[in-house]
A and B are shown apart, each in its own frame.
Chain A
Amino acid sequence: AQSVTQLGSHVSVSEGALVLLRCNYSSSVPPYLFWYVQYPNKGLQLLLKYTSAATLVKGINGFEAEFKKSETSFHLTKPSAHMSDAAEYFCARRDSNYQLIWGAGTKLIIKP
């Protein structure tokens, strides 16, 4: 079955530290992958997407993600965390019917 797995429901980092949010997918064909961010009481906003072009994808707010086919991973990173990055992050993949299959989400906590 197609699925998206996000390791860690909560990730806590200090301000200025590296952010690493993990996402693994299962797919029999190269997928389209997305990271969305959700701030409290807001809708979801697209951070970045992988569409089988470059394996390193740059997104908004300094985030980037690397598609690794051998590891079936699409981890999200940011070199230096900022307090404003505190939010929930969702990884998703597109299925053959253009529907999104969602991970469970990772809440990013930034410590001052």
Chain B
Amino acid sequence: DTGVSQDPRHKITKRGQNVTFRCDPISEHNRLYWYRQTLGQGPEFLTYFQNEAQLEKSRLLSDRFSAERPKGSFSTLEIQRTEQGDSAMYLCASSLVGQLLNTGELFFGEGSRLTVL
């Protein structure tokens, strides 16, 4: 399978616990994005990486949220001290940018659904 994969697909946790989601992008893609989506809403941009550099993180929802992409391949999104309001689908997407004629469309994973009790 050469698509974007996310793990775990579902996570149920108690308030106050930390959770970590992993995303493996399409291998040749240099950009990786994290989005959050709540029921009935569109994707809400959180952060993105170009290779290993995190180029935008001001949209992360609070300092409890952090993301890494240490070697420019897979990425992790960590939420510390989870709150019930963090319950949502967390989507990862990847794209290839910077090449001539590349349109930069995003390829999404299936998402990681978080439920905070």
Contact = CB atoms under 8 A, between A and B. Distances in A.
Interface stretch (A21-29, A40-48, A60-68, A78-86): A40-48
A100 B106 CA distance: 8
Contact of B105 (A34, A41, A104): A34
B103 A104 contact: no
A102 B45 CA distance: 10
Interface residues of B, number: 24
Interface of B: 4, 6, 31, 40-43, 45, 48, 89, 91, 93, 95, 97, 103-111, 113
Interface string A28-40: 0000101010000
Given A98-B31, A98-B97, A104-B42, A43 B105 contact: no
A101 B15 CA distance: 32
Interface residues of A, number: 21
Contact of A41 (B6, B41, B93, B113): B113
A42 B107 contact: no
A46 B107 contact: yes
B48 A102 contact: no
Contacts of B40: 107
